Amino acid sequence: MYESEMRQLEQLAEQARRGDALAAAELRRRLLPQMPCIVRRALRPQSKATASTRRIRDAAAAMNAHAPSRDAAQSEPFVQRVGRRIVAMICGDFKGPAAVARPMQETVRF
């Protein structure tokens, strides 16, 4: 990705952290197409062990625990599932601000 695209993603992530549901949806829309390539690269044995690579490998290992075979880990459906899980982990962290309880505040406006 280009630097300008990364800045846009960072801005969307910041807006999503503040509770903007549209920004979270846009972030998800932009990340999903990129994830298969990122996941495949992270699952290669020669890939550097960065924090994001470790998270992707951990998610893949957890998803592949029931049938740990190299062929399954390289299959396109598996890569897609891992990519969706990673995007869900990224976008799932973006919760809107908690509603403030104001039981004694009037709700009728004049």
DSSP sequence for 84-99: HHHHHHHHHT-PPPPP
Contact 12, 22 (CB under 8 A): no
pLDDT, tens digit (0-9, with 9 covering 90-100), for 40-80: 999 998 989 899 899 999 989 888 876 555 555 568 899 99
**Cα–Cα dist 85/51, whole Å:** 16
Region 78-100: mean pLDDT is 73
What is the value of pTM for the model shown?
0.69
- Would you kindly state where each structural domain of the chain is located, as residue ranges? 3-92
Residue 32 pLDDT grade (very low, low, confident, very high; cuts 50, 70, 90): very high
